[in-house]
Amino acid sequence: MILLDGKVVSAAVKEIIKTETAIILAKHQRPPHLVAILVGNNGASETYVASKVKNCEEVGFQSTLIRFDSDISEKTLLDKIKELNQDATVDGILVQLPLPKTIAESKVIEAIDPTKDVDGFHPINAGKLVQGLPAFIPATPYGIMLMLEYYKIETKGKHAVVIGRSNIVGRPMSILLSSNLPYGNCTVTLCNSHTTNLKEMCLQGDIIVAALGKPGFVKEDMVKEGAVIIDVGITRVEDATAKKGFRIKGDVSFDEVSRKVSAITPVPGGVGLMTIAGLLKNTLLAYQNKM
């Protein structure tokens, strides 16, 4: 069984980005610049954004974190995005989700300049992805594709089962795996909470991507021998025995499933780290597209 280690792969990706950034700086050009906007004080969001800022610094990017209180008006947030769109020194803009219920996420996503949409959520980038055109790929699916490439996981002609149909992971993942790409060309089944024969579908999967946000949902009896398991789930589960009072769990019951499969991502230490790698790759691309 191969452990698909996000620490190893993300470090390799970041090293390449760091080298490319050093070349940029050696030419006395400004570094790529990512701006992250954080609304409120959600604990998980704080952790994610802090990690993104830290990783930007590690590869030589400039990063800016803009904070707003949770009671910020939608107009104020949209005005700030408009300002960043017009700032030529800003290459990538991300707004950390989720947002307060008083703010329409769709309006915020659509307000970001598609050429600075390094999260890959804008409808223009989503549409280009569907059509196989150059686009910013959502960071998590992008990171997963980078992982498949690093470990040379055979995908051509395989049956991939994607559990979860979100616009952030499930849908774009299904598109990428079915696309005519070096690590695509799968036959893809996209499942959701209403799929009545989900276990039977999973048992057909040569590759399973679990992205539904239910800790330990995928059990040993749902996967076939030798399958490749990509666990996207990251959920805080209360645990009084843990130092922090909680543990991070994935959507897959790792201990039991790992005995049966050919390759699997751990949680933590798997896809989460690759999401950051995908974001950094997108930010560098946004910079290069402008130069």
**Residues belonging to the active site:** 52, 96, 119
Q: What 8-state DSSP symbol labels residue 29?
A: P
**Residue 265 identity:** T
**Rounded CA separation 149/35 (Å):** 28
Nearest to 234 by CA among 47, 94, 93: 47
114 token code pair: 């598609």
**Rounded CA separation 244/241 (Å):** 9
Residue found by looking up tokens 């050919």 in the block: 262
Contacts for 65 with CB less than 8 Å, ≥ 6 apart: 35, 36, 38, 49, 53
Residue found by looking up tokens 């395989």 in the block: 158
User: What are phi and psi for residue 137, nearest 5 degrees?
Assistant: -90, 135
Question: CB burial class (10 A; 0-12, 13-18, 19+) of residue 269?
Answer: middle
Nearest to 150 by CA among 2, 1, 258, 249: 2
Q: What 8-state DSSP symbol labels residue 246?
A: E
Residue ranges in the chain assigned as alpha helix (H): 6-26, 43-59, 74-85, 105-111, 123-130, 139-150, 170-178, 198-203, 254-257, 271-290
Q: Is the peptide bond before 172 cis (omega within 30 degrees of 0)?
A: no
